[in-house]
Amino acid sequence: MNRLTTPFGSYELTRFPEDPRDRLRAWDAADEYLLRHLDSGTGDRGPVDLAGRQITVLGDRWGALTTALAAHHPTQITDSSLTRSATAANLDRAGIGTSKRTVTLLTTQDAPPERIDVLLVRVPKSLALLEDQLYRLAPHVHAGTVIVGTGMVKEIHTSTLRLFERILGPTKTSLAEKKARLIFCTPGSPAAARPAAADPWPLTYTADEDAGSGAGLTVVNHAGIFCADRLDVGTRFFLQSIPTNTDGARVVDLGCGNGIVGTAVAVADRDAEVVFTDESYQAVASAKATFRANVTHERERADFLVGDGVAMLDPGSVDLVLCNPPFHSHQATTDATALRMFAQSRKVLRQSGELWVVANRHMGYHTHLKRLFGNCEVAASEPKFVVLRAVKREQRQRPM
């Protein structure tokens, strides 16, 4: 039973998409530590009075914090559409639901609440995303705002604490419990009295000459996008290999990140229809900005979708899928996301449609693609990365 017991109640929680084979829980010791502190205090700090106060929860992984605190009408801010879906499902399972306006669900691209009395921060993997969000939230906290962060010890570094200190105010940490730690930050003055600091995000740069079909393109990265100040090695290699003479095809940049792959196709083939999709709101905002910075012809055929892979597209509606899949889910290493992307891709591809994937060689994705598509070939390779190509063909029916 995936049940979290807290001082605020007991809840059955799952990740999203739900998979009965998934052994990863929807919470960890950091979530439990924060909820215990809110109820009874930690060290020399007493419990936090939540009654009647505007509570904002930033970076909740799968909705555990938001669900446990639902009676206090919190606002959740997340970059992940999967987290948003998990939170909604967990609230429904608890008999709460978002339709009753008990909980407000916002994204990192939405305007935050005007006033924040209690700010709870689940430290994200990306220090850049934390920086950007703290800058966005700083004008909305006040001298009396209670700010508590939480994370596993391996997630909280000196650089993490410096961000809280620089943007919000004096910061210190708790003792560790079950390899989790709390962060306590005290705003130094009312927001109106603090000098305005400039949020450095998003970053913009020009792709290098060795970026294949992406060379010379302007790239816009909002905070939290992998390898924000330059192209990562895998994407660079992918851009040297992908087909760009698509003859007006419908192309999906799956897990689009900053969108340079799909943008490279759109620049090379002005008749191509490109769909950019990612589960990150920051990523899709980046892809849209990258596309707008490079595609200037009048006929702009592009869609930008936030969600679970290509699950929102119609079966048999796509000619080409280009994918640089992740192999992490927060701190956990897993191929589950990539395999779900591959299965979704086969469903939305037309007959003879193609899936192109770039991946670390050691991931062994060719085995999965052969099992799923019945074929897979290496389109390009180097010591660390491979580009794989699988074609959707009619599967022969086995004789009775």
How high is the pLDDT of residue 189? 58
Min mean pLDDT across 31-35, 53-57, 362-366 is at: 362-366
CATH topology for 203-391 is: Rossmann fold (3.40.50)
Min mean pLDDT across 203-207, 302-306, 392-396 is at: 392-396
The single-letter DSSP state of residue 30 is H
The ranges assigned to domains in the chain are: 3-193, 203-391
Alpha-carbon separation of residue 295 from 152, 201, 258, 270, 283 (angstroms): 42, 22, 14, 9, 18
In whole angstroms, give the CA distance from residue 325 to residue 235.
10
Classified as helix, coil or strand, 245 is: coil
Burial of 93 (0-12, 13-18, 19+ CB in 10 A): middle
How high is the pLDDT of residue 99? 60
In whole angstroms, give the CA distance from residue 204 to residue 229.
8
**278 within 8 A of 308, measured Cβ to Cβ:** no
Give the helix/strand (H/E) hosting 39.
helix 29-40
How high is the pLDDT of residue 100? 58
Min mean pLDDT across 65-69, 131-135, 182-186, 331-335 is at: 331-335
| CA angle 21–25–30, rounded 5-degree value | 165
CA torsion sign for 369, 373, 376, 380 is negative
Tokens 């978002």 locate to 98
CA torsion sign for 340, 343, 349, 353 is positive
Which of 127, 104, 125, 126 lies closest to 57 in space, CA to CA? 104
> Which band of pLDDT confidence, cut at 50, 70 and 90, is reported for residue 328?
very low
Say yes or no to pLDDT of 329 above 60: no
Mean pLDDT of 211-234: 94
How many C-alpha atoms does 304 have within 13 Å on its Cβ side?
Answer: 18
pLDDT single digits (tens) 58-98 = 999 999 999 999 999 999 999 999 999 999 999 999 998 66
Residues 6 or more apart whose CB falls under 8 angstroms from that of 369 comprise: 342, 355, 357, 375, 376, 388, 390
Classified as helix, coil or strand, 150 is: strand
How high is the pLDDT of residue 1? 52
How many C-alpha atoms does 290 have within 13 Å on its Cβ side?
Answer: 38
3-state secondary structure 276-325: EEECEHHHHHHHHHHHHHHCCCCCCCEEEEECCCCCCCCCCCEEEEEECC
Q: Tell me, rounded to whole angstroms, the distance of Cα 55 from its chain centroid.
A: 22
Say yes or no to pLDDT of 194 above 60: no
> Which band of pLDDT confidence, cut at 50, 70 and 90, is reported for residue 101?
low
Say yes or no to pLDDT of 43 above 90: no
Mean pLDDT of 224-240: 93
pLDDT single digits (tens) 334-361 = 678 899 999 999 999 999 999 999 999 9
Tokens in use for 176?
A: 């560790």
**261 within 8 A of 214, measured Cβ to Cβ:** yes
Instruction: Locate the DSSP E strands across the chain.
Output: 3-6, 9-12, 55-58, 75-78, 104-107, 116-122, 141-152, 171-173, 180-185, 203-206, 218-221, 250-254, 273-278, 302-306, 318-323, 328-329, 332-333, 349-360, 377-381, 385-391
**Bond from prior residue into 202 cis (ω within 30 degrees of 0):** yes
Tokens in use for 140?
A: 């909305």
Which of 160, 169, 157, 153 lies closest to 129 in space, CA to CA? 160
Say yes or no to pLDDT of 374 above 80: yes
Same fold, 3-193 and 203-391: yes
pLDDT single digits (tens) 68-78 = 999 999 999 99
Higher pLDDT, 192 or 16: 16
Burial of 299 (0-12, 13-18, 19+ CB in 10 A): exposed
Question: To the nearest whole percent, how much of the chain has pLDDT over 90?
Answer: 83
Q: Among 3.10.580.10, 3.40.50.720, 3.40.50.150, 3.40.50.620, what is the CATH number of 3-193? A: 3.40.50.150
Report the mean per-residue pLDDT for the chain. Answer: 92
